[in-house]
Amino acid sequence: MNTKEKGDRAIGQAISHYISQNYEVCLPIGDKRSYDLVVEKGGSLKRVQVKFAGYYPNKDQCLVGLRITGGNQSYHYAKKYEKDDFDELFIYTERGAKYQIPWECVKARSEISIENKKYDEYKISQDTKVVNWGRL
């Protein structure tokens, strides 16, 4: 999978999770925001940044970069997120785990090892209720 495909997979997992939790999911148009989704429940809005955490066998852990990257063949940039860029971080790992972390609880600003015990409380349980859509 290339980087875009990993991001698409993470976005799909995030949308599925929030919908299963009865959130309304809104997708901003374009790529100019520091968040990927806006979710609403009970009149409360949250801006959500979605990330894919790749597995690194040499470290035996899933790592996620906390920065905006872009550019082209002759120019590349990486910008760290600011404290008010979004409200929540949703992470989908290559191993299939999901995390929902308030951004204010993340102290690192470059990269995190999401499987670190300090993030265990934010791991989404595998038995989270999933909406049954029946036959389509």
3-state secondary structure the chain: CCHHHHHHHHHHHHHHHHHHCCCEEECCCCCCCCCCEEEEECCEEEEEEEEEEEEECCCCEEEEECEEEEECCCCEEEEECCCCCCCEEEEEECCCCEEEEEHHHCCCCCEEECCCHHHHHHECCCCCCCCCCCCC
Give pLDDT tens digits for 58-99. 999 999 999 877 778 888 878 889 999 999 999 999 999 999
pTM of the predicted model over 0.85: yes
What the chain holds in terms of domains, given with CATH numbers, is 3-122 (3.40.1350.10)
Tell me, what's the pLDDT at 134?
Answer: 46
